[in-house]
Amino acid sequence: MSVFNWIIVGLNIPLSLLSAAHALFFKRTPQSALVWVAVCLTFPFVGPVVYFVFGINRVRNRARRLEIKRPPHRVEPGGGDSLETAKHPPADLEVSRAVSDIARISDNVARAPLVGGNRIDLLHNGEAAYPAMIQAMENAEHRIFLCTYIFDTDSAGRQIIGALTAAAARGVEVRVIVDGFGELYSRPRASVLLEKAGIACTRFLPPRLLPLPMLHINLSTHKKTLVVDGDVGFTGGMNIGDRHLAEVEDNSKRVVDTHFRLTGPVVRQLEQSFIEDWSFCTGQPLEPIATPTVSRGKAVCRAISDGPSEPVDKLSTILVGAVATARKHVMIMTPYFLPSVEMISAIQTTVLRGTRVDIVLPSVNNLPFIQWATNNMLYELLFWGANIYFQPPPFVHSKLFVADGQYAQIGSANMDPRSLKLNFELNVEIFDANVVEDITGYVAEKIERSRQIYLADINNRSFPAKTRDALMWLFSPYL
């Protein structure tokens, strides 16, 4: 063997061993670790290079490096001392044993405490949500914090910008966070118009080429929150734009969605999420509003902020726990349904135990490749007895979760890897029979208008459709 060959062998052995060791220690499933170890050791040079390009979770690593740069703040998780009197221990909830178990799971996973004294109002589409948001901004006396993924600069978007501008003109502190990738959906960009109006606006991890390239569609803030004076808040699935005006039938891009108005102590937790994200984006610390919290209703709630910088996938863990714990009925409505292996197993086990599981999805998706990938895995749920429903057009963007008629989650997170692993999200969990009844009724009404999907529908797909769906499913962790 020549000296050159010995050099090649000498370089390949440590490279293969190092990459295999990295896969062994950092991959989270034995199947994944085994495959990558085999690739690194079997294919000289090529295996380690392929692992370096495709096998390392750079999203989580980059998110944690960015998290280290987050400026320290003096605000306690959940809003500080002003929330002490509103804290509501899980043991004090007047709910079933199963729902009480859900509360204990989330209490051990989430940073924020449960807080009582809240009111939650369900808002249908932009026709109800935007006027309520504008009215809240018109009534603002101290501050307005707005965070959104997409901020279109069409008619609806400019009305929101107008309300923000008017509030700032009368002395209200106004701050806006727009996702750096999401704002590219519209021209001119919302951040440009806001800055021209003199409003403090920052972009969340905007793509750039210099000084160091940062081009990605992950690590986005997918949160949709509006907080006014620390007492009135809005969150849900709705971005800002004409597309959410679903009652305008000649709107070819119309989207059906739900948003929620929250009043009471839980709004301070939405404010806390914004304060942390503002510090992350700008390096500028903010303090929570100084006015005391006021009870507005009877709902017990908690805001759960999640993202790839967290050591635990909080929302995923809580949702899997809620499905596994429910004893009567689980309802899931989501536009993008690519559940994890853990979630699939939890749904299967829950159905086998006799709990009804209804999953409501759009029949026509704005991202067809996600719908194709979803079709490929529905067999796993239908076979064991889960109920799948396809809603008729227009596209339905609502994200709702209900368990046993006493627990609900609302917010920005979809039931897919992008939301639960790659992006920054905010959901609110609700323990209140009356509010959950409203949400349950909304989902039930949508089910009545939907087409139920059966095992035969999935099995009878054409061979080209099955092939297409299976190929898209292979990429589901990245969709």
Tokens standing for residue 427: 């959901």
Query: What's the whole-number average pLDDT of the chain?
Result: 87
pLDDT, tens digit, for every residue of 218-245? 678 899 999 999 999 999 999 999 999 9
Instruction: Give the count of beta carbons closer than 10 Å to the beta carbon of residue 36.
Output: 24
Alpha-carbon distances of 333 from 7, 80, 99, 249, 360, rounded to whole Å: 58, 33, 19, 23, 5
Helices 341-352 and 314-325 meet at what angle, rounded to 10?
10
Once rounded to an integer, what is the mean pLDDT over residues 173-180?
96
| pLDDT of 18 strictly over 90 | no
The whole-number pLDDT of residue 121 equals: 97
Instruction: Return the higher-pLDDT residue of 208 and 182.
Output: 182
Query: Residue 157 contacts by C-beta under 8 Å, 6 or more apart in sequence?
Result: 151, 186, 190, 240, 241, 242
- Pairing state between β 173-179 and 143-148: parallel
The whole-number pLDDT of residue 179 equals: 93
For residue 143, list its beta bridge partners: 173
| pLDDT of 291 strictly over 50 | yes
Lowest mean pLDDT among 22-26, 119-123, 438-442: 22-26
Alpha-carbon distances of 396 from 37, 246, 253, 257, rounded to whole Å: 42, 10, 11, 6
Q: Give the distance, in angstroms, between the CA of residue 370 and the centroid of all CA atoms in the same chain.
A: 16
Instruction: Return the higher-pLDDT residue of 60 and 468.
Output: 468
pLDDT, tens digit, for every residue of 80-116? 556 677 788 888 888 999 999 999 999 999 978 999 9
Question: In this structure, what DSSP letter does residue 464 have?
Answer: H
Query: Residue 419 contacts by C-beta under 8 Å, 6 or more apart in sequence?
Result: 222, 315, 336, 412, 413, 425
Omega before 335 cis (within 30°)?
no
Of 225, 248, 233, 246, the C-alpha closest to 305 is 225
Instruction: Give the count of beta carbons closer than 10 Å to the beta carbon of residue 211.
Output: 6
Q: How far apart are the first and last CA of the chain?
A: 47
Instruction: Give the count of beta carbons closer than 10 Å to the beta carbon of residue 139.
Output: 11
d(CA 444, CA 333): 10
Q: Would you say 70 and 95 are in contact if contact means Cβ atoms under 8 Å apart?
A: no
Once rounded to an integer, what is the mean pLDDT over residues 246-274?
93
Alpha helices for 243-303 (secondary structure H): 266-282
Give buried/exposed letters for 300-323 (b at 16+ CB in 10 A, else e): bbbbbbbbbbbeebbbbbbbbbbb
The whole-number pLDDT of residue 208 equals: 62
| pLDDT of 74 strictly over 50 | no
| pLDDT of 464 strictly over 90 | yes
Query: What's the alpha-carbon Rg for the chain, to the nearest Å?
Result: 23
The whole-number pLDDT of residue 90 equals: 85
The whole-number pLDDT of residue 476 equals: 79
**Tokens 């079933």 label which residue?**
96
205: left (phi over 0), alpha (psi -120 to 50) or beta: left
Which amino acid is residue 207, in one-letter code?
P
Which amino acid is residue 222, in one-letter code?
H
Lowest mean pLDDT among 82-96, 147-161, 270-284, 294-308: 82-96
The whole-number pLDDT of residue 73 equals: 47
Once rounded to an integer, what is the mean pLDDT over residues 433-453?
97
- Give the predicted TM-score (pTM) of the model: 0.88
d(CA 56, CA 253): 37
